[in-house]
Amino acid sequence: MSKHIFLDSSDLKEIKSWNKTGIIDGVTSNQAIMLKDGVKPKQFEKLVQAICEEMGEKPVSIELSNSRAGVADMVNEAKRLNSLADNVVVKVPLIPDTKKSALVIARLLKAKIAVNVTCLMTFEQMIISALAIKNSQKPSFISLFWGRSIEDEANYRSRSEFIIEHGRVGVGSWVNQHPKFITQEIIKFLNSNDNENIKIIIGSVRSATMVGEAFAAGTDIVTIVPDILQAMFYSQRTVETIKQFDEAWEQLQKQK
């Protein structure tokens, strides 16, 4: 199974720069990234089209703008996003306490729109998302937020007061103790159900070492912001070794 890196960005210049390297195979973005990158509302559609054109046939995931909207409005927005380019993938957040996300996804699949189910923190959310998109006719995705999942476990799922308040969610389990376990087990789940069109994305990556951990756990894709992608190149010993070799070449030129 092939592995891929997606760039988590809405900065067209940055996307073009990284696309030239041949390293990235897709782009993901969301409202927070666009806000950070200074995207204006009037620029939005043209920017999405420009990113999609730059990436060619590679997928570009764009998130629905308002989780509080009704099903019909979310579906209409998804159809508008899908109309911008052939390689658009619509990011649908898995909204707790409602079946709304599942209803939206079902309608998008009928319309043959590629979906990326996002904001996932637990193994159970990964299962429900995989089942929701199991009949997708296009390659679709389920996105586990690695860093935020760790925080979810530390701040909520492992705490007795949270367990008491959310009894139906259940007590802490070994599979949710770390996203590497979630990743490994959802791979088994997908393989047992022969879901070839579903790919796992790991997002919410806070460091280069998290990228390594995510791929070591078996994920298909890691989506990475530009500065962390650049950090993957780094090793202090590599810096020292290259310096040593450069200095050796300079000395070699002085030999008679």
Query: Tell me, what's the pLDDT at 256?
Result: 75
Q: Which letter, b or e, does each residue of 147-160 get, where b requires 16 or more Cβ atoms within 10 Å of its Cβ?
A: ebbbebbeebbeee
Q: What is the pLDDT of residues 133-171, one digit of tens each?
A: 999 999 999 999 999 999 999 999 888 888 888 888 877
Give me the mean pLDDT over the 246-254 stretch: 95
Give the whole-angstrom CA distance, residue 37 versus residue 148.
21
Query: Tell me, what's the pLDDT at 1?
Result: 65
Give me the mean pLDDT over the 74-97 stretch: 97
pLDDT exceeds 70 at position 45 = yes
SS3 content of the chain, % helix, strand, coil (to 5): 50, 15, 30
Give me the mean pLDDT over the 35-51 stretch: 95
Give the whole-angstrom CA distance, residue 157 versus residue 171.
7
**Dihedral, 173, 217, 200, 1 alpha carbons, nearest 10:** -140
Give the whole-angstrom CA distance, residue 107 versus residue 103.
6
Confidence of residue 172 (pLDDT cuts 50, 70, 90): confident
Q: Are strands 60-63 and 24-28 parallel, antiparallel or unpaired?
A: parallel
Q: What is the pLDDT of residues 182-237, one digit of tens each?
A: 999 999 999 988 778 899 999 999 999 999 999 999 999 999 999 999 999 999 99
Q: What is the pLDDT of residues 89-125, one digit of tens each?
A: 999 999 998 999 999 999 999 999 999 999 999 999 9
Query: Tell me, what's the pLDDT at 162?
Result: 86
Give me the mean pLDDT over the 15-30 stretch: 98
Domain ranges of the chain: 4-253
- Is CATH 3.20.20.70 the classification given to domain 4-253? yes
Query: Tell me, what's the pLDDT at 170?
Result: 75
Query: Tell me, what's the pLDDT at 166?
Result: 81
Query: Tell me, what's the pLDDT at 168?
Result: 82
Residue 191, CA distances (Å) to 1, 14, 130, 160 in order? 12, 35, 11, 34
